[in-house]
Amino acid sequence: MQPRDPRTSQFIRKAMGREMLDAETEHRLALAWRDHRDEAALHRLITAYTRLAVSVATRYRRYGMPLEDLIQQGNLGLMRAAEKYDPENGARFSTYAAWWIRASMQEYVMRNWSVVRTATNAVQKKLFFHLRKTLVKLDDGEIRREALSETVARELDVPEHQVQIMLGRMSGQDLSLNVAQNGEEDGRDWMDALEDDTVATETRVLEDLEAHRRRSLLYSAVQDLPEREQRIIAERHLSDTPRTLAEIGADMGISKERVRQLEERALSRVTSAVQDAARESISA
């Protein structure tokens, strides 16, 4: 366990020495913040219960997270609680805030406990935070290894296959890919054994050249169209904000149906021109 930062120790001492709010004061401060956005009331409400964040953080230190980071997450949960709390629902703010503080810390622990995301649903989240405690409770030497996941599943009321998944995840450890395969400093790293799935430079260059050639053929074919058809294609298919047939027809003084006919004829001409150019290129 890392030594505690002096500033963290000072923060904890101040937090534990804050005033204790009674239910009436809590209610009044919460109403002032909700109805009038009174920041002084919010500050008093939050600082009074920073002690909750500190208390919960000490319990989550067993997951190896820095205490100051856990406290910070607890404070974020406290802020969310103040924002969402309804003083008319009858519950004390301290009770409501405790839930948000724990939720914030749990999310932080799960994000940072392993490089590989550990808990991906509500069941695995429950297992992550209760599995070790349950294993200790069941460790009486009488449970066979093959029956362990079944027993834990029954104890926590979760599917057995989810228990098996979490047992596998929590029994492993994160390994660096920048480690030699043979354990020697001059050996080949595991990173070197990973397949590079990016497109080869030569292939990418050829694809870019082909795309450029096709664009050139397309724009050349469009430029050979009559002026009216060229305008329709440009405004309907080459613009970042394509216009409707009706809008173009109104500008050109023709009907929407006539615009559609001209567009169809223009597209047919462009397609034929591009195909002819491509065939000539192949035969050349």
User: Which tokens sit at 165?
Assistant: 């998944």
> What pTM, to 2 d.p., does this model score?
0.44
One domain for residues 136 and 33: no
What's the whole-number mean pLDDT along residues 260-279? 84
**pLDDT, tens only, 182-192:** 555 555 555 55
Supply angle C-alpha 88, 102, 81, rounded to 5: 30
Is a pLDDT exceeding 80 seen at residue 117?
Answer: no
One domain for residues 175 and 223: no
Higher pLDDT, 117 or 130: 130
Beta bridge partners, 180, equal: 189
One domain for residues 220 and 206: yes
pLDDT recorded at residue 50: 92
Please count the other Cβ atoms lying within 10 Å of the Cβ belonging to residue 15.
19
What's the whole-number mean pLDDT along residues 84-99? 88
Q: Which domain holds residue 104?
A: 1-113
Mean per-residue pLDDT over the chain, rounded: 76
**pLDDT, tens only, 24-68:** 999 999 999 999 999 999 999 999 999 999 998 888 787 777 888
Higher pLDDT, 229 or 238: 229
Is a pLDDT exceeding 80 seen at residue 96?
Answer: yes
Is a pLDDT exceeding 80 seen at residue 174?
Answer: no
One domain for residues 16 and 107: yes
For residue 201, what pLDDT band results from cuts at 50, 70 and 90? low
pLDDT recorded at residue 102: 85
Domain total of the chain = 3
One domain for residues 12 and 85: yes
For residue 4, what pLDDT band results from cuts at 50, 70 and 90? low
- Ordered DSSP codes for the chain: -PPPPHHHHHHHHHHHTSPPPPHHHHHHHHHHHHHH--HHHHHHHHHHTHHHHHHHHHHHGGGT--HHHHHHHHHHHHHHHHHH--TTSS--HHHHHHHHHHHHHHHHHHHHS-SS----SHHHHHHHHHHHHHHHHH-SS-S-GGGHHHHHHHHHTS-HHHHHHHHHHHHS----SSSBTTSSTTS-BGGGGS---SPPHHHHHHHHHHHHHHHHHHHHHHHTS-HHHHHHHHHHHSSSSPPPHHHHHHHHTS-HHHHHHHHHHHHHHHHHHHHHHHHHHHH-
Of 113, 142, 163, which marks where a domain is finished? 113
Among 165-174, 197-206, 248-257, name the one with the lowest average pLDDT. Answer: 165-174
Of 83, 113, 143, which marks where a domain is finished? 113
Task: Please list, in sequence order, all residues whose beta carbon lies within 8 angstroms of the beta carbon of residue 223, skipping any fewer than 6 positions away.
Answer: 230
- Percent of the chain residues topping a pLDDT of 70: 66
Task: Please list, in sequence order, all residues whose beta carbon lies within 8 angstroms of the beta carbon of residue 39, skipping any fewer than 6 positions away.
Answer: 33
pLDDT recorded at residue 107: 78
One domain for residues 212 and 185: no
Instruction: Encode burial over 117-139: b for 16+ CB neighbours within 10 A, e otherwise.
Output: ebbeeebbbbbbbebeeebeeee
Is a pLDDT exceeding 50 seen at residue 142?
Answer: no
Q: What is the CATH number of the domain that holds 240?
A: 1.10.10.10
**pLDDT, tens only, 204-222:** 666 777 777 777 777 788 8
Of 194, 216, 251, which marks where a domain is finished? 194
Q: What is the CATH number of the domain that holds 86?
A: 1.20.120.1810
One domain for residues 10 and 105: yes
One domain for residues 230 and 190: no
For residue 119, what pLDDT band results from cuts at 50, 70 and 90? very low
Among 48-57, 105-114, 162-171, 176-185, name the one with the lowest average pLDDT. Answer: 176-185
The values of phi and psi at residue 225, to 5°, are -75, 160
- Percent of the chain residues topping a pLDDT of 90: 18
Beta bridge partners, 189, equal: 180
pLDDT recorded at residue 262: 92
